[in-house]
Structure 1
Amino acid sequence: MVRHRRGHLLGKWIRQAEHCGPRPIRSMTSFLRQDIDAVTIGLTLPYSSCSVEGHVCRIKRLKRSMYGRVSYALLRARILTPP
């Protein structure tokens, strides 16, 4: 369903998981139902935020490693230079 972008199968999967899935999966289905439209679109459309998440992770790692040691200007310079 995820790899082949078949979001239209999500409702069927949720119903099956609620009836015969393990307890953690059953509890997750209630959260999926709260925003079913967004989850279905996320499973259907080819767009991804992976590259953005990678940059955010890199910036957080830099901030943690430089915390309390350097000025904002140096942190900014390190963030803006390519890895």
Structure 2
Amino acid sequence: MYDQICERGFSGGYSTLSRYVRTLRDGTAVPAPAPVPSPRTICGWIMRPREKLSPRQASELERVRLACPDTTEACDLARAFGDLVRNRRGHLLTEWIRQAERCGQPSIRSSASFLRQDLDAVTAGLTLAHSSGVGEGHVCRVKLLKRSMYGRASFELLRARILTPR
């Protein structure tokens, strides 16, 4: 058995293997710990709508929520805010801010108070169908062209590239 596991990449010694086999026979072997999901993975589970989670992902998220009560509160608030954004429910923003300001986590409270500072603009962004995304995209494209051509070409060429349709 030692030769077989060495062929698969085991770098330990024979005595290490024999001690482990002895614990297996005695029934005292410590089970391998369950893999801990990364914060990025957990955040992805939280922000994804419940119906789009696989059963395994939903059970893992539930396990994380039970293990950490702070995560449960943050998860509920994040999902509620995601619902506000996805379904354009800006009229419910003030209630969400009230709930977030009562939260036990300082970072969520500060985010909520920051949203309250510009409440009219945020409510409009969550309610109206209008967006400045197209204009922002054009500004980003012009800046990219300008940076890529800096010091290499004349203003006339830059102007021609900006005005030429893609």
Does the TM-score normalized on the shorter chain lie above 0.5? yes
Report which structure shows greater RCO (CA 8 Å, sep ≥6): 1
Structure 1 residue ranges, 4+ long, deviating more than 6 angstroms after superposition: none
Task: Output aligned runs, 1:23-38, within 5 Å.
Answer: 23-38=106-121
Overall identity of the aligned pairs, in %:
72
SS where residue 86 of structure 2 aligns? Answer: coil
Shift of 1:54: 1.1
Say which one has the larger Rg: 2
Q: Which residue, 34, 41, 47 being the options, matches 2:130?
A: 47
Q: Which residue, 89, 95, 98 being the options, matches 1:15?
A: 98
Alignment-derived partner of residue 19 in structure 2: none
CA gap of 1:5–1:61, structure 2 versus 1, over 3 A, is same
Q: Which amino acid aligns with 2:118?
A: D
Q: Which residue, 59, 63, 68 being the options, matches 2:151?
A: 68
Q: Unaligned regions of 5+ residues in structure 2, if any?
A: 1-83
**What is the RMSD computed on CA atoms of the aligned residues?**
1.3
Alignment-derived partner of residue 25 in structure 2: none
TM-score by length of 1: 0.90
Q: Which amino acid aligns with 1:14?
A: I
